Each structure stands twice: as structure tokens, then as C-alpha cells.
Structure 1
């Protein structure tokens, strides 16, 4: 049986420490300001993204990984005798999955396994970590894909949006919604359902109210939560992250690993500064 390499795209929002320790290869999507293109997490970091938006006054466009990018990254591992498991951002959210399938067709059947996470951010990151667990147990690439595919519909991802400015600039809410959201201090909570983003709840007032709502849902589901990994992922929302971690600890609802990660540039472009989420996998 061939050795297995786990790959993920940059929207998985895993820390460099996790990527290194779990031997996950990352392939970046792109953030484009006009004619200038940056590789997410390579040429530009989240804080730099926000600085550029403030300086230029507009949001960048994001773009998927090309089939050619995938081929260039796959080839060396195939030549070294590895089989590849590649996890991508949800196919309903980006063209990255389709591009990966095109690249897959350039290699012998079975050498490259593509997983549509049907999710984004560390929702995909959770699945990448589980893929590593299966790899470390000695499963083949095809067996890893089969096991991870079973987990895909059990991922629960939700994010509270601190400011609606980025949703408005990105064309995802109207000027009226933006105005009312600002006046009423509405904090939408976005949830991934069937691979799409839905407004799950709307919190009014302080950000902590939105955090409490997400935490209450987590506590209610805690007995059914896969305890291996729970993620708190945010876009430069350190205080909110500290609040959530302390809340979870005080309520005695700690998983084996409660991991804090920062959203990369592609995810941050669409959600804005201060966004924070809690992500986990439910048991069968």
C-alpha cells in the first residue's frame, strides 16, 4: 500500500503549528486587489488584508485554485510513491472542488482522492484533522476518503458576524439591511447547511449575546459532539475567542482538544473583522 499525504486548501483555517505537526500540505486560494493577485496565507495575511481594504476602500475578489496549481502540487508526491487525499472548500461555495477533479483526471485512477467538505473554514479543517487520524491508523487513501465522506454531513459550523460592512461591500446584504443592522446592533449568526450559508439566528445587542447563543447550542449538543476536536475560529477577534474558551471551561464542556485558529484572507474577505465561530463534528 502506498504512503498517504493529506492536503487541504487554505480556507481550512488551520494554524501553521497544526499543519506542521499533522503533516498537512496546504494549497492556497487567491485574493485579488485589482490586477494584483496574492496567495492566501503565503503572500498576504489577515491583518494585511484589512489594512489594504482600509487603504483602498474596496474589498478584494477571491478566486479558486486552478487545475494547473493542483497538478503542480500533486505531481511530486505521486512521483515519490504517495497517494493523495485532497480536501477542498465546499463545491457550492467555490470552484476549487471542480478544479481538483480536473487535476485528478491527469493521474492514474485511485492515486488522488478528492473530498468535497461541503463546508468552509475550520469546518474543513476538522475533517482534515480526522483524515490525519485515519492516515495514522494505516488506512489507504481510498479508505480515508470513505471514512471522511461519512463525517461531512455531521460537521456543524456557525459564525457570528460582528459587522455587516463586509457583507454589504461584498453584495451579500442590502444598504437597508446594513443600516438597520448597524442601528439595532444586529449580529447575524451564519450556519453551513447542506453546503450553503444560511442565516441561522440574529442576535441583537452586544457581541457576547451572539457568542452565548452559539455556546448554548454547543452545550445542548455536547453529549453528541465528537470530543476529539472542537474549533474556535475567528477573524482577529481575540477577546471573543478568550470569552468563549473561558465559558466552555467554566461549564465543564471541554473536548480533548479545544483549538483556536485564525481565519485566513479568503474567509475574512467574506465575513469581516471580528467574526467568530465554533465548529465541531457530531457523532453518528
Structure 2
């Protein structure tokens, strides 16, 4: 039976301290605030992040750095036979495609799960993967099982302000202005690869 470790990123909502308790590895997502790079839950807390956000800081997200990913995989493969890597949805970031490409150099020892999850659904995938690993499933078997039901979950989000949707190009400037004046708060849905308006 292979010794399998489950790895995810901080978009799962799993903190570094929780990851130690759970026995998983969480790669922190990098982001930039006013052109300075931070790692989520490493050198900036969520509270500090939201404080900077409300103060009007210029925030840009980024996918994990390639070197950070491969260095972590290399480190883990000294102790484990296989890795199941569960990144955020390929529809929301290029980090999944990059990981799939990188995994090709690991001769089947790293399986990247592309099951369109983020936040609580990504966290659930981590829990499911851990359970399957405990049952003796291989990394490839875990990947196949998780991807088989990738469209079986979704997330609904309600936003208080259209400011960040406008900044990210999800809403036009005119749409944001009209929505703000009328007090419209859209409900967004993440299902599969897409982030779409569900209701207003």
C-alpha cells in the first residue's frame, strides 16, 4: 500500500495550524498588496488582509509560484510515495493547469485533482481524499473518485459591495454604478468552472 499525502492550497480555507491537526499540507496562496508580496496565513492574517482591503490597498491575487509547488512536492516525496494535490478550481485560476503540467515530471507520483472546487467544497474534497487514502486507495484512484463527481456541488456568495467585482472585471463600471445607486446586491454562484450571477 502506497503512503499518500494530501496537499491543497489556502483557497480551501484550511489554515496552517488546522493543516497540522488534520495531517495535510496547505500551500499558501501569494497575493500582492500595493506591490508587496504576502503569503496567506504566513506573513499576513485574514484580519490584517481585510484591514488593508478596507483601507483601499491595491490587491492582486496570484497563483502559487512554480518553485514553491515543486519544492514542496520534492520535500514530501522524500517521505511519501505519492501526493494527491487538490488546487482551486481550474475555472477560477491557472494554478490547476500549471500543476497538471508540473506533475508530468513526477512519473505518476503526483496526481492533481481538477474537480472544480474552492473554499468549503475544496475543503470537503481534502477530507474525502484523506478518508480514501486511509482506506488504502492510491493517489490515482483518489483523483479519479474525486473528479467523478466534480459537478455535484456549488457555492453561493452574496456581496455587500460591487467595488471588487468591478475591479476584477466581473461587473462593468456602469453596472456597478447603477447597482450601487439601486442597492442591488447580486448573489453569485460558483458551479463547475464558472462564477456567474445567480440572482439579484
TM-score by length of 1: 0.65
Change (3 A) 1:123 1:31: same
Q: Which runs of 4+ in 1 moved over 3 A?
A: 15-18
Separation (CA, whole Å) in 2 of partners of 1:8 and 1:36: 24
Shift, 1:25, TM fit:
0.4
Separation (CA, whole Å) in 1 of partners of 2:119 and 2:13: 5
Alignment of 1:34-183 (within 5 A): 34-55=34-55, 57-107=56-106, 109-183=107-181
Separation (CA, whole Å) in 2 of partners of 1:41 and 1:3: 28
Q: Deviations over 1:48-82 (max 9, x none)?
A: 12222343x34311111122211100112212233
Give the secondary structure class of the aligned counterpart of 1:41: coil
Shift, 1:181, TM fit:
2.2
Shift, 1:15, TM fit:
4.5
TM-score by length of 2: 0.90
Conserved 8 A contact 2:5-2:80: no
Shift, 1:28, TM fit:
1.5
Give the secondary structure class of the aligned counterpart of 2:185: strand
Conserved 8 A contact 1:65-1:99: no
Say what the alpha-carbon RMSD is for the aligned residues: 1.8
Separation (CA, whole Å) in 2 of partners of 1:28 and 1:153: 25
Give the aligned partner of residue 28 of structure 1.
28
Which segments of 5 or more consecutive residues in structure 1 lack a partner in the other structure? 203-284
Matched, 1:10 2:25: no
Conserved 8 A contact 2:9-2:86: yes
Q: Which has the higher strand share?
A: 1
Number of residues paired by the alignment?
200
